[in-house]
């Protein structure tokens, strides 16, 4: 198998969509970004009341803050941007174009408050499509692929994937998120060799397929996104083994670009695919001091648009804590690769140790098939500090909720791996609730 190509892929096309950008050196990438940033910075100062005020309040009065000094600018958060929307609805004080140039509007899910909006000009839509095309092409999707996508058409930014699949030129088979019957029909009918879904749903499909006729499916590739999991070995290995597929993952962030990182078939973490349009920094999660992007570095990703027209953001704190896996890659891309460790919002502290719920999934996954692979942490208070034992609910197949020995084994595994005491409750699939499509890793329940 040539590097950067799926095992099932025998085509001879270049597996890199945008070879110039995706293989350039860091110095070249910086130069490309720095000149784009000059224009973007002026656009912000001239047209964004939100950023003009924010920079003024931070004591930034220069006509230009060059990219190499970007750390002199203040961070932006989703809460500030939401306030900006509220003070000048519907598009807010960070709208940098006349409203009639807004040609597409997505909404955010509002999991952290009231829904918000994301406005795009035609140029913004194209920019998202360009980045997304690099991202999905990197996973191994080519024009000869047939892709069943469960990412929905809207109202969320994941709907932008449809433009991306059209740009690649593959067959697209859209299904609504969580419509299990249509997914299974589509796969068994041989309509698709590739599935785009959440890792929760892929896991659900794997659990269902363990007893059914996997061999009738043409499925060979699953691209997971929308939540962490595709990069967790216990989850990925299970899906790959049961469904006999290659799992790659993608990640994006609504305020920046819906598909911004894509993992190639080398499966060594997700490549940054936003070159020329988005600038990424890494900062220490606690001090917020800059951290060099190099193999082994851990930090929070900070994003700055370089070419956004309607709602550009500068130094946006994305909330994703990642580990840099390094660069370059056997696939030929020079862009850095990373894996998500967890969401800052989901993190809690037990006796001074930071814990991300995705780490709990990695432990729970070892107990398959006695568990389904889904689990969540119950937070009784809003305090980031949690007293042990930490309540964890683990989903088990129907009829296994009374297996006290299993609960104790998971508690012991959590203790030995993550060094904190847990109180595990076993919950059947019916009682766990939420469709198998997406799993909230943390539930607040006093």
Task: Give least dist CB 2 to Zn ion, A.
Answer: 12
For residue 381 the two structure tokens come to 């208070």
| Cis peptide bond prior to 90, omega within 30° of 0 | yes
For residue 62 the two structure tokens come to 């220069």
Task: Give least dist CB 269 to Zn ion, A.
Answer: 8
Distance, in Å, from the CA atom of 120 to the CA atom of 100, rounded to the nearest integer, reads 11
Residue 54's H or E segment, with its range, is helix 49-57
Task: Give least dist CB 149 to Zn ion, A.
Answer: 22
Closer CB to Zn ion, 152 or 269, in the complex: 269
Closer CB to Zn ion, 331 or 392, in the complex: 331
Task: Give least dist CB 343 to Zn ion, A.
Answer: 25
Task: Give least dist CB 170 to Zn ion, A.
Answer: 20
Distance, in Å, from the CA atom of 129 to the CA atom of 152, rounded to the nearest integer, reads 16
Rg of the chain taking only CA atoms, in angstroms: 22
Closer CB to Zn ion, 47 or 333, in the complex: 333
Residue 298's H or E segment, with its range, is strand 298-305
Closer CB to Zn ion, 333 or 376, in the complex: 333
Query: Residue 212 has what DSSP assignment?
Result: S
Name the residues that contact Zn ion, by CB under 5 A: 264, 266, 329, 331, 333
Half-sphere exposure of 399 (CA within 13 A, CB side): 2
212 burial type by CB count under 10 A (0-12 exposed, 13-18 middle, 19+ buried): exposed
Task: Give least dist CB 230 to Zn ion, A.
Answer: 15
For residue 388 the two structure tokens come to 């042990």
Closer CB to Zn ion, 8 or 72, in the complex: 8
Pairing of strands 337-343, 316-326: antiparallel
Name every residue whose Cβ is closer than 8 Å to that of residue 190 and which is 6 or more positions away in sequence: 217, 218
For residue 119, CA distances in Å to 76, 102, 104, 279 come to 18, 6, 6, 20
Closer CB to Zn ion, 15 or 312, in the complex: 15
Task: Give least dist CB 225 to Zn ion, A.
Answer: 17
Closer CB to Zn ion, 333 or 368, in the complex: 333
């Amino acid at each position: 198998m040539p590097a950067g190509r799926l095992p099932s892929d025998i085509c001879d096309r270049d597996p890199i969509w945008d070879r110039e950008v995706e293989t350039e050196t860091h110095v070249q990438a910086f130069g490309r970004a720095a000149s784009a940033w000059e224009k973007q910075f002026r656009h912000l100062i001239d047209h964004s009341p939100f950023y003009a005020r924010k920079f003024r309040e931070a004591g930034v009065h220069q006509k230009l803050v060059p990219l190499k000094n970007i750390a002199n600018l203040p961070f932006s958060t989703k809460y500030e941007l939401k306030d900006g929307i509220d003070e000048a609805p519907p598009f807010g004080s960070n709208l940098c174009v006349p409203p009639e140039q807004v040609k597409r509007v997505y909404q955010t899910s509002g999991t952290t408050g009231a829904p918000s909006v994301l406005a795009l000009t035609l140029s913004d839509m194209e920019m998202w499509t360009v980045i997304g095309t690099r991202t999905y092409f990197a996973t191994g999707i080519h024009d000869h692929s047939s892709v069943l996508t469960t990412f929905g058409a809207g109202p969320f930014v994941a709907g932008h994937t449809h433009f991306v699949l059209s740009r690649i030129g593959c067959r697209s088979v859209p299904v609504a998120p969580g419509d299990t019957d249509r997914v299974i029909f589509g796969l068994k009918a041989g309509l698709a060799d590739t599935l785009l879904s959440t890792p929760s749903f892929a896991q659900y499909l794997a659990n269902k397929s363990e007893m059914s006729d996997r061999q009738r499916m043409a499925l060979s590739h699953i691209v997971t996104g929308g939540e962490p999991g595709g990069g967790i070995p216990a989850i990925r290995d299970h899906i790959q083994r049961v469904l006999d597929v290659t799992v790659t993952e993608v990640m994006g962030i609504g305020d920046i670009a819906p598909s911004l990182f894509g993992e190639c078939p080398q499966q060594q973490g997700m490549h940054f695919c936003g070159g020329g349009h988005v600038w990424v920094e890494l900062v220490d999660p606690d001090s917020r001091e800059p951290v060099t992007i190099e193999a082994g570095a851990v930090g929070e990703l900070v994003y700055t648009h370089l070419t956004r027209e309607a709602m550009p953001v500068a130094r946006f704190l994305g909330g994703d804590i990642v580990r840099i896996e390094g660069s370059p890659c056997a696939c030929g891309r020079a862009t850095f690769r990373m894996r998500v460790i967890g969401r800052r919002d989901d993190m809690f502290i037990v006796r001074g140790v930071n814990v991300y719920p995705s780490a709990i999934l990695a432990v729970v996954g070892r107990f398959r098939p006695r568990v389904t692979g889904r689990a969540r942490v119950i937070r009784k208070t809003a305090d980031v500090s949690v007293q042990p034992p930490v309540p964890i609910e683990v989903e088990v197949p129907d009829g296994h909720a009374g297996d006290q020995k299993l609960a104790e084994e998971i508690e012991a595994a959590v203790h030995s791996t993550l060094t904190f005491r847990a109180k595990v409750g076993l919950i059947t699939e019916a009682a766990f609730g939420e469709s198998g499509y997406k799993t909230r890793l943390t539930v607040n329940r006093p």
